[in-house]
Amino acid sequence: MKQSGNNKHADGGSIQAAAALIRAGQLVAFPTETVYGLGADARNDHAVAAIFAAKGRPQFNPLIVHVRDLAAAQVLAEFDPLSVQLAEYFWPGPLTLVLPRRAGCGLSLLVSAGLDTVALRAPAHPVAQALLSKAGCPIAAPSANLSGRISPTTAAHVRAELGGRVAIVLDGGACAVGLESTVVQVRDGKCFLLRPGSITREQIALIAGAVETGADAPGAPRSPGQLASHYAPNLPLRLNVTLARPGEAALAFARNIPSGAAKICNLSPGGDLNEAAANLFTMLRELDCSSFTGIAVASIPVHGLGEAINDRLVRAAAR
């Protein structure tokens, strides 16, 4: 077996080991037909937070969740008839479908960046397929590069950039496609292109008929990354609060706890920013109810994942 450091030639044994690491909440880099992915158990908030930390992403964008096939996808999301047709035609392959999350799907809310939708794809690469079937869980995976850098198409690229931050890099050779997946969303029977990618608009139109471009179509779905749409609470948010107003609920961090709040959720009593990221969307949703007049957010440090946490809170407060 060819290997150096945590770089493992992808064979049955190393894939089995990687699957066990995924189940244990660790990060695993693996090849897909598009680019190498930085994977974690998509049900585990802490593991998903670790993806953002390893990439050094300054924002929480929703991640693509990889599944074996359509049947596995239908457990997680609600499929309309056109999305079923697209999946049947293009899966396994480089098409990502954005779909409503199924109630009780068990997916991390951080994987959806707090949205009610999830982006799903069944990859064609045999190593990705073997990893998914051995792990037995959906795997969240953005490209395995540092934020702002180019997507990796070889294991050597991944090792050079993220080698020290992942438990294992499965080496499956160079990626065949080398371009990201195409992201689409069906709304009211119409197919919207959210991100161009390796499957062309013309190919999708063969199945979907017309393909609308997300940005300019009337009633277009808003896509993070393309348009500035993000999870936003219904209640008004105030930031850097030490004293809550009457009726406000509070989002605390460590010992920064707004006083006088009607209810308090502490993102991380111990002051761990990865734990805070893992809890962010779940706690925001818990506090975002009509029993309160607003959400008072304590000050949160801006280093590490604190940058992405603050980014999201500032956007939510600016509405």
Tell the residue number behind the tokens 């695993």, with chain if given: 28
Binding to ligand AMP by residue 98, rule CB under 6 A?
yes
Question: What is the token pair recorded at 76?
Answer: 């997680």
Judged by CB under 6 A, the residue of 39, 62, 258, 294 near ligand AMP is 62
The listed partner (Mg ion, ligand AMP, none) that binds 98, CB under 5 to 8 Å by sort, is ligand AMP
Q: Please name the residues in contact with 64: beta carbons below 8 A apart, sequence gap of 6 or more.
A: 96, 119, 120, 121, 140, 141, 142, 181, 183
Binding to Mg ion by residue 198, rule CB under 5 A?
no
For residues 17 and 138, what is the distance between their CA atoms, to the nearest angstrom?
17
Give the burial string for 51-62 (b: 16+ CB within 10 Å, else e): bbbbbbbebbeb
- The region of 219-227, 234-242, 254-262, 267-275 touching ligand AMP under the rule CB under 6 A is 219-227
Judged by CB under 5 A, the residue of 143, 181, 223, 256 near Mg ion is 143
Judged by CB under 6 A, the residue of 110, 119, 277, 297 near ligand AMP is 119
- The region of 1-9, 59-67, 233-241, 266-274 touching ligand AMP under the rule CB under 6 A is 59-67
Question: What is the token pair recorded at 278?
Answer: 């893992």
Whether the ω angle into residue 258 lies within 30 degrees of 0, i.e. cis, is no
Binding to ligand AMP by residue 138, rule CB under 6 A?
no
Binding to ligand AMP by residue 108, rule CB under 6 A?
no
Binding to ligand AMP by residue 63, rule CB under 6 A?
yes
Angle at 57 between CA 102 and CA 22, to 5 degrees: 55
Burial of 214 (0-12, 13-18, 19+ CB in 10 A): buried
- The region of 56-64, 123-131, 252-260, 303-311 touching ligand AMP under the rule CB under 6 A is 56-64
By the criterion CB under 5 A, which residues form the site for Mg ion? 143
By the criterion CB under 6 A, which residues form the site for ligand AMP? 61-64, 96, 98, 112, 115, 117-119, 142-143, 180, 183, 194-195, 223-225
